[in-house]
Structure formats: C-alpha cells, structure tokens
Amino acid sequence: MKRRRVAITGLGMVSPYGGDLADFFARLLAAESAVRFLHTDDIPRPLNIPFVSCPNFDVDAVLGRPLAGTMDRFAQLGTAAALAAWADAGLARAPSAEDREQWGVSWGTALGGTLAYEKGYKELWIKGRERVSPLSVILGMNNAANAHISIQLGLGGVSMSHTVACASSAIAIGEAFRRVRNGEAPVMLTGGSDAPQAYGVARAWEALRVMAGGDATTSAQACRPFSAERRGLVLGEGGAALVLEDWEHALARGARIHGEMVGYGTTCDHSHLVRPDATGQIRALNMALADAGLLAEQIDYVNAHGTATAEGDPVEIAALKGVFGERAGRLPVSATKSMHGHQLGAAGAVEAIVTVLALREQAIPPTAHLGQPDPACFGVDHVSSARHHQPLRAALSNSFAFGGSNAVLAFRAVRS
Amino acid sequence: MLPTMNSLGLIREFLQNRLGVTPERAIPEAPLNTLGVDSLMMLELMFEFEDRFGITLTKDLKSPKTVGDMAELMDRLRSDQD
C-alpha cells in the first residue's frame, strides 16, 4: 500500500482565553495561565477548585440555539472547534462539488455527555421525578460530538469516537492519521472535547487525590508540572480539532498547510490502572519515531503529557531519557497544561495543536510556574520561559492515560 | 411553574426559547415543522408540557401538525385530567 503524506490544513479550538488560535498561542508564549478559581452553587457543598473554563464561548452565536439545544456541553465545544478547523482549512460547511462520502470524523472524549446524565440523576434522585428529559440519550451518548460533526459537515465516511481517558483525542488523531496515510480517506476531521465540570466527575477526581488545590488568589498558578512544588493537576473544559488531509489533495485545492503529521505510536503498559510505566511509554515513543521515519536526534521539541502529579511526571521524564539517551539533557520539553489545564478527552488535541503551532511559528511555549524542577524530573531541557526563533524541525506530543494507554504523535515543520 | 399560562403561551415560550421563533410567527395556523419542530423536538415539547402542567401524556398520542392543533390537544388533555 502506497503511503500518502498527511497535511494538517485546519486547526480550530474553543480557547479558554476567548480569542482565536493566534491569541491562544501568544498567551501560551507569554506564560499566561487560563486557570481560574471555580466556585459552584451546588448544594450543600459547592465545588471550590482551580479549573479552566471557556467563559466567552457563546454557543448560541456559534452553533445557533436550535442545534445547541440538542447537545451536551462536550458536543457543543467539539462541534464549535470542528467548525473552526473546517473554516480554517478553507472548506465550505456544506458539500459543494466534492464527494465527501469517504471523508470522516475521528473524535476523542473521556467523559461524553456527563452533564446530561448528571442532570438526569438530579431529576430522579434529588427531585424525586419519575422521568428525565427525552433528549437525555442523545445528549449523553459518547459519540454525540462526532455524529453532530459528520451531520454538520456532510461527511459520509467513518464517524467514530475514542474513549481512552487522557489519551482519547491523541488516539483519535492517530487513528485519523492512519486512515489518511493509507489512502482510505482523503480528509479526516479529528480532535476531542470534554466538559468535566459535572459535580460528580469533579468529586471523583478529588477522591483520587490528584487535584491541585487553590483559591481565588492562587488558582492561576495551581498547575506546576515537573516542579518541585507541584501539587497535582487542574481539570478544564475544552474542544480542539484538526483537519488532516492527503497531501496531494491539499495541494490540488491550494490549501494552506500548517504542518505535516508524520508518525503515531500507541501502546499499553498492561501493568496497572493508574500507575504509569516508563517501558510502555518508551515503546510508544519509539513506535512514533519509527512510524515517522525520524531519528531521536531529529526531534527538537516535546510537548509533554505533564499533568503535575507526583507519580506521573517523573515516569514521563524517565521515558524520555530512555529514548533520547544523553541527548535528553538538550531536548526542549514543556508541559502547557500548566496554562490550559487538563481537558481530559480534549487534551491530546489541544496539545497537538500547540505542537503544530510551535513548529509553524518556530517558538516553544514554556512550562509556566515551573520554579525549581523536582530532582526526580531532572535530565531534560525544561523550557521555563518562551523560546522564540528556534530552528524546530520535528516535534512530539505525548498523551499518557489512566488504564496504561499511551499515545505519541509526531509532527514535522513545513518550510514555506 | 406558571399556573396561569395557557397552552398556546407555553408553546410560544418553548418555541422562542428553544428555536428563537418569535411569538408573532407562532400563530395557530403555523405548521410546527416549518417552525423547526422535528420529531425529537416534539418529544421535548411534550416533556415540557407534562412538566409544567403536571399531567401525564399517553404513549399513543398522535403528533399534532400545527401550533393550533398542539394547543388544542394540550387544552383538552389538561381539562380531561383536571
């Protein structure tokens, strides 16, 4: 089977900063945190957590009220991101002359429509009602986002969702990449979305004791991956999407190409549900490099999974040292979750976009609020402040999930 | 709960909140499908009706065609279950 080159022709996101992608990347370079203190009105015990929201997302304006009303928040975020990526790719929303019957969607979500289900539980158990909204099933189903996207864009090929915890959208992107590279689909819309502010979900994460605390003053700096003072992860809502396209197809229609996707590796630690294992991550990193036909010394930046948990961060650094050897000390690594938080099923897509933008703009966003790195995380070149004018050739984006699933995406810069 | 609201008022309120249809367009003769009410939304409207007026609709109800048909059906059901 002839392998096709895969162009990235569209990028889209519902930014927690409220602006466009250029604004998003500029704020990351400026080490500006989107983390805020979230205080909810839940009775009797409100949530008081650092969180990343998208407060300026005007869903009615972007999707229209009739459509938005048939979606849970995760599908709203996802569809909005997809429409933005589609427009960025210069593609019309409705099919025109082209046949889109082979074009598809590969989407990631860890939680699906959790808010809809939670609303139903409240109706049944708190209000004592016998019934829930007739929309509960279509709002809650995990494939709602990809189904809406396929309908909105008239895509007749595969429409699938991937639920792989924190690696959901990285795996969704990898699987989309394979379909384009193998010639099965000339265009794939891919990415992920999640809205983990559901009360029960947030409480469940708290119970795992991996969440960073914070108040109105300290929340912005609550997420500190690789730092000696890290205190845990910060959840966030989000949606991010990429358009992957057969290179020749993109050239034929004169599309702008942001970058090239060149490799994908995915493995399972097969050892523990929540304790990561460097050997499984090493296999995923090596698989992505081999798939891309790249040598370790050709990688100029790694966007780390870097959640700021006590256990996860050192294992990821150990994996990078295992793959990059002595060169790891000169390998620029940053964890941008320090600013945009951990959007679970959207995280891999958000970070894939960050990695593509880093290559395109030749600039590396930092791990914000790093301070002194944890000695257990020594051994790589931690990027603690933005680096501009970097000669970046290729980069990796890591996503390592509970359940032991690992995904590594490889991208290459495109010279204009 | 707005106990004084009539069925037509509830339908108009739903159409405005859910679909952005102005009350002026939601005249009794207006076909529901031309206002954007599909089968799924009809279920939502029925649910809203049950919720707001505290009655239970039977499963074999035929879907009304117009705003007026819908209001008439709701008025009848309310009066039957009073």
At B1 the pLDDT is 41
User: Which of these ranges, A107-121, A138-152, A289-303, B5-19, has the smallest mean pLDDT?
Assistant: B5-19
The domain that holds B43 is classified in CATH as: 1.10.1200.10
Nearest to A69 among B18, B46, B47 (CB): B18
Residue A66, min C-alpha distance to chain B (Å)? 5
- Asked whether residue B18 is domain-assigned, the answer is yes
Evaluate if residue B5 carries a pLDDT over 80: no
What are the Cα distances from residue A206, in Å, to A15, A47, A111, A235, A351?
A: 25, 10, 16, 10, 24
Q: Any idea which residue has 């409100």 for tokens?
A: A46
- Asked whether residue B45 is domain-assigned, the answer is yes
**Residue of A392, A163, A394 lying closest to A294 (CA atoms):** A394
- Asked whether residue B2 is domain-assigned, the answer is no
pLDDT, tens digit, for every residue of A281-292? 999 999 999 999
Evaluate if residue A408 carries a pLDDT over 90: yes
Evaluate if residue A409 carries a pLDDT over 70: yes
**ipTM > 0.90, yes or no:** no
Q: Which of B51, B57, B59 to mutate against chain A (most A CBs within 10 Å)?
A: B51
Nearest to A134 among B19, B20, B43 (CB): B43
Evaluate if residue A355 carries a pLDDT over 90: yes
How far apart are the C-alpha atoms of A150 and A152, rounded to whole Å? 6
With CB atoms and an 8 Å threshold, state whether B40 touches A133.
no
| Nearest C-alpha in B relative to A136 | B44
**What is the average pLDDT across A159-163?**
98
Residue B75, min C-alpha distance to chain A (Å)? 22
> What residues pair up with A269 in beta bridges, in sequence order?
none
B52 interface with A at CB cutoff 8 Å = no
A138 interface with B at CB cutoff 8 Å = yes
At B6 the pLDDT is 85
Evaluate if residue B82 carries a pLDDT over 80: no
Q: Is A106 helix (H, G, I), strand (E, B) or coil?
A: strand
Nearest to B44 among A64, A65, A135 (CB): A135
- For residues A226-254, one letter each, b for 16 or more C-beta atoms within 10 angstroms of the residue's C-beta and e for the rest, the string is bbeebbbbbbbbbbbbbbbbbbebbeeee
Contact criterion met (CB below 8 Å) for A36 and A53:
yes
Question: How would you class A65 by CB atoms within 10 Å of its CB: exposed for 0-12, middle for 13-18, buried for 19 or more?
Answer: middle
Residue B11, min C-alpha distance to chain A (Å)? 15
At A235 the pLDDT is 97
Q: Residue B13: list chain A partners with CB under 8 A.
A: none
Set out the domains of chain A in order of their start, with CATH numbers: 6-252 (3.40.47.10), 263-412 (3.40.47.10)
Backbone angles phi, psi at A49, to 5 degrees: -140, 155
- Asked whether residue B27 is domain-assigned, the answer is yes
Give the catalytic positions of A in this structure.
Answer: 166, 305, 342
Q: Which of B18, B35, B46, B49 to mutate against chain A (most A CBs within 10 Å)?
A: B18
At A416 the pLDDT is 64
Contact criterion met (CB below 8 Å) for A349 and A172:
yes
B44 interface with A at CB cutoff 8 Å = yes
- Asked whether residue B1 is domain-assigned, the answer is no
Q: What angle separates helix B7-19 from helix B39-53, to the nearest 10 degrees?
A: 130
How far apart are the C-alpha atoms of A264 and A188, rounded to whole Å? 15
- Asked whether residue B14 is domain-assigned, the answer is yes
| Nearest C-alpha in B relative to A139 | B40
Backbone angles phi, psi at A166, to 5 degrees: -70, -15
Contact criterion met (CB below 8 Å) for A402 and A162:
no
- Asked whether residue B53 is domain-assigned, the answer is yes
Number of domains in chain B: 1
User: Which of these ranges, A195-209, A245-259, A330-344, has the smallest mean pLDDT?
Assistant: A195-209
Q: Over chain A, what is the mean pLDDT?
A: 96
pLDDT, tens digit, for every residue of B16-59? 999 999 999 999 999 999 999 988 888 888 888 888 888 777 77
Q: Check residue A335 and report its DSSP letter.
A: -
How many residue pairs from chains A and B have C-beta atoms closer than 8 A?
A: 24
How far apart are the C-alpha atoms of A149 and A178, rounded to whole Å? 20
How far apart are the C-alpha atoms of B44 and A152, rounded to whole Å? 22
At A94 the pLDDT is 85
- Asked whether residue B30 is domain-assigned, the answer is yes
**What is the average pLDDT across A240-269?**
98
- The model scores a pTM over 0.90: yes
With CB atoms and an 8 Å threshold, state whether B47 touches A131.
yes
| Nearest C-alpha in A relative to B43 | A134
Q: Residue A64: list chain B partners with CB under 8 A.
A: 20
| Phi-psi domain of B15 (left: phi exceeds 0; alpha: psi -120 through 50; beta: other) | alpha
Evaluate if residue A83 carries a pLDDT over 50: yes
Task: Give the pairing type, strands A332-334 and A381-382.
Answer: parallel
Evaluate if residue B3 carries a pLDDT over 70: no
pLDDT, tens digit, for every residue of A309-349? 999 999 999 999 999 999 999 999 999 999 999 999 999 99
At A172 the pLDDT is 98
**What is the average pLDDT across A100-114?**
97
Identify the domain containing residue B20 by its residue range: 7-81
At A136 the pLDDT is 95
Evaluate if residue B2 carries a pLDDT over 50: no
